[in-house]
Structure 1
Amino acid sequence: MAEFLISIATYKRPDLLADLLRSLEPEVAGEDVRIVVVDNHAEGTAREVCETSPLDIDYIVEPRPGIAAARNRGLDRVAADDRFLIFVDDDERVHPGWLRALADAQRQYDADVISGPVISVLPADAPAWIARGGFIQRARFRTGDPSLSPATNNTLVRLDYLRSLGSPRFDESFSMTGGSDTAFFRALRAAGARMIWCDEAVVDEDVPVERANLAWIWRRGIREGNVSGRMLLREKSRPAVVVAGLARIGYGVAAVGRDVVLQRGVQARSAAYITRGIGWIGASRGRLVTEYARPTESVEG
């Protein structure tokens, strides 16, 4: 039905979603594009934004709570002759030329997965140590380099490749902790997917004030450790993961100490060893950070 299917999962962010849709308007003009918005709020809080947008949007509500359920509902809307699936988040804005950059890179490198940079725009009053230490900001690479950790925040996937794998789904046991996209793309990599970076396909993401602080960054680091720890447990025993976690914590403490002694300030790369180690141990014990849990919902897995 289309060259590109853009899939957007959203939950109670109508204003941010409206910004994203406005940024997409010039990108899809004249292109063979379908847009699917999956609203994960049962009351349909994104309906008005989608219905008033000049874009032709396939708007659906997925009442089952959880980001993985919403992503899977988006997969349900893939048609047999759609060629490429593109994921973007509802709190982002795409840069001019974003769609063409993804498409051109896919053709040039004959890749199964193309991902691009997400630029975290910090609040004006964010503590200086966040930017100085590389916290929150994501790494960038040269176009054509391997894409090391694709996510659903700015990624194109060749649908023929997904179909050749039996059309895999997002693991809904990660819905409340996050990480279903990490597990999804890790499985594609294990299956031999060619994953490439495109540095010209840029999106912006405003960092909310409530995230520009130590408590949120620390919690996020542990949550990411939980995710990788849960996947590691599929290959290793619980004691082995605990020991590996303790080793990472020890290394991280030493690395942070070195940063301080050398007057670099605490660096995200060093601190990540600590939070990942804690996250691995938590995963081994079933103690998970449920960042996306809702008051009446529980987590399995």
Structure 2
Amino acid sequence: MSNGQDISIHFQCELENRADIDLVVVVPIFSDPDHLVKTLKTIVSQRPDVPLATLVVENGGERPTGADAAKAFFLNHPSDSAVIICRRRGRCQALNAGLSQALERYPNLQAIAVIGDDEVAAPEWLDGLMAVQEAYRADIVGGPQLPVFKHPQELRWKRHPVFAPPYDASGPVPMLYSASNVLVTRAVLEGMPQPFLDPAMDIVGGCAVDLFHRCKAAGFSFAWAADAWVTQSVPEHHATAAWVRATSLRRGTVSAYLARRSDPTLAGRLKRLGTSLALMTTSLPRGVKLWAKTGLAFAALYYFHVARGRVTAEVGLIGRGDRKPGQ
């Protein structure tokens, strides 16, 4: 079974009527199929007060190893579930496929939660997200992604802003930054145009931040659920200064692209370049404070790297005119 969007159904299991499903968990596959099984175990062990379904999205290579692993899991753990294959490669494409297919398959769903295949959910993960959503009437709720490192010497990185959660306490927040460990209500899914995430943002990263900025402009609200945590396995090459620096630079680049959308004129770009240069001049004093707070010397360069990413992107955008990222 397939449609015109290069999406096919690899497996499906229905215990409830699809129309009765209120909550869908979407799991895009990008990593090790063995870890995917760990993720799925923590999903089927959730006990929310509403009917739940799981939708797994394979976005790998020619062999659907992740989809096969998910199918085998659901055959041994029957639950309302589906495994789809999205042939359009990219994180944004996989997430778009998961969100759109969830809406199509479960017409009365009230919310979609997203978790990565490299993550493991807390026992009351979904309850935590839903409780905060109900308490604050938030349209989108996020929760912590707590890093799990392979070696003790890598634990120092958990204090760096690249890995540390952006907020400490539950409640309303101005913005969210990750497409994983997030709950999106039906109001957002109906109010935002499809495709929800811009595939062009896969070039620089930050497709989730782009979506959330557009959601905020449309009037949707955000909240943070501090107790709705997931743990995230960190590859060894991510626990390095080079990767952390590159990620910090990319955050600055994404910030520049998003700012450009609000004012794409040359005057607007020059103004943003001035702002970025000003941020660079204040980055080192701010970095020293961050060093003192985290006890991590490398964190002192975080704001500098973000500002440098902004400046580099602004200079590139001025020279590239109105072309989209990657063109």
- Write the distance in 2 (CA, Å) between the matches of 1:201 and 1:259: 26
Letter aligned with residue 252 of structure 1: S
Is residue 303 of structure 2 the alignment partner of residue 252 of structure 1?
A: no
Conservation of the 8 A alpha-carbon contact between 1:13 and 1:46: yes
Match of 1:180 in 2: 207
- Write the distance in 1 (CA, Å) between the matches of 2:139 and 2:261: 25
| Higher-helix-fraction structure | 2
Cα deviation, residue 166, structure 1: 4.4
- The CA RMSD over aligned residues, in Å, is 2.6
Letter aligned with residue 283 of structure 1: A
Closer, same or farther in 2 for the Cα pair 1:265/1:165, shift >3 Å? closer
Letter aligned with residue 233 of structure 2: D
Extract structure 1 runs of 4+ deviating beyond 6 A. 258-263
Letter aligned with residue 196 of structure 1: A
Q: Which moved more, 1:239-248 or 1:128-137?
A: 128-137
Report the 3-state secondary structure (helix = DSSP H, G, I; strand = E; otherwise coil) of the residue aligned with 1:136: coil
- Write the distance in 2 (CA, Å) between the matches of 1:101 and 1:260: 32
Long gaps (5+) in structure 1: 288-298
Letter aligned with residue 69 of structure 1: Q
Is residue 98 of structure 2 the alignment partner of residue 71 of structure 1?
A: no
Q: Which moved more, 1:250-259 or 1:117-126?
A: 250-259
Conservation of the 8 A alpha-carbon contact between 1:170 and 1:184: yes
Match of 2:303 in 1: 273
- Write the distance in 2 (CA, Å) between the matches of 1:274 and 1:216: 15
Match of 2:69 in 1: 49
Q: 1:18 aligns with which of 32, 37, 44?
A: 37
Match of 2:169 in 1: 142
TM-score scaled by structure 2?
Answer: 0.79
- Write the distance in 2 (CA, Å) between the matches of 1:88 and 1:35: 11
Closer, same or farther in 2 for the Cα pair 1:91/1:132, shift >3 Å? closer
Q: Which moved more, 1:131-140 or 1:225-234?
A: 131-140
Cα deviation, residue 203, structure 1: 0.5
Letter aligned with residue 213 of structure 2: R
Match of 1:282 in 2: 312
- Write the distance in 2 (CA, Å) between the matches of 1:110 and 1:251: 37
- Write the distance in 2 (CA, Å) between the matches of 1:152 and 1:191: 18
Cα deviation, residue 113, structure 1: 1.1
Letter aligned with residue 261 of structure 2: R
Is residue 22 of structure 2 the alignment partner of residue 3 of structure 1?
A: yes
Deviations 1:111-165 (Å, cap 9, x if unpaired)?
A: 2111111111233333465345555222332222326324211111111333134
Closer, same or farther in 2 for the Cα pair 1:47/1:135, shift >3 Å? closer
Match of 2:232 in 1: 205
Cα deviation, residue 46, structure 1: 0.7
- Write the distance in 2 (CA, Å) between the matches of 1:30 and 1:265: 42
Q: Which moved more, 1:169-178 or 1:270-279?
A: 270-279
Conservation of the 8 A alpha-carbon contact between 2:46 and 2:124: yes
- Write the distance in 2 (CA, Å) between the matches of 1:50 and 1:207: 21
Cα deviation, residue 263, structure 1: 11
TM-score scaled by structure 1?
Answer: 0.86
Is residue 84 of structure 2 the alignment partner of residue 60 of structure 1?
A: yes
Long gaps (5+) in structure 2: 1-18, 318-324
- Write the distance in 1 (CA, Å) between the matches of 2:220 and 2:247: 28
Q: How many residues align?
A: 289
Q: Map residues 56-205 of structure 1 onto 2, 5 A cutoff.
A: 56-77=80-101, 78-79=103-104, 80-127=107-154, 129-131=156-158, 133=160, 136-146=163-173, 148-166=175-193, 169-205=196-232
Report the 3-state secondary structure (helix = DSSP H, G, I; strand = E; otherwise coil) of the residue aligned with 1:27: coil
Q: Which moved more, 1:197-206 or 1:101-110?
A: 101-110
Closer, same or farther in 2 for the Cα pair 1:7/1:260, shift >3 Å? closer
Deviations 1:196-235 (Å, cap 9, x if unpaired)?
A: 1111211111222211111010001011111111001123
Letter aligned with residue 25 of structure 1: V
Conservation of the 8 A alpha-carbon contact between 2:92 and 2:197: yes
Closer, same or farther in 2 for the Cα pair 1:208/1:166, shift >3 Å? closer
Report the 3-state secondary structure (helix = DSSP H, G, I; strand = E; otherwise coil) of the residue aligned with 1:149: coil
- Write the distance in 2 (CA, Å) between the matches of 1:260 and 1:42: 41
Identity of aligned residues (%): 23
Q: 1:224 aligns with which of 241, 251, 273?
A: 251
Closer, same or farther in 2 for the Cα pair 1:59/1:147, shift >3 Å? farther
Conservation of the 8 A alpha-carbon contact between 2:146 and 2:231: yes
Report the 3-state secondary structure (helix = DSSP H, G, I; strand = E; otherwise coil) of the residue aligned with 1:156: strand
Conservation of the 8 A alpha-carbon contact between 1:69 and 1:175: no
- Write the distance in 2 (CA, Å) between the matches of 1:219 and 1:19: 29
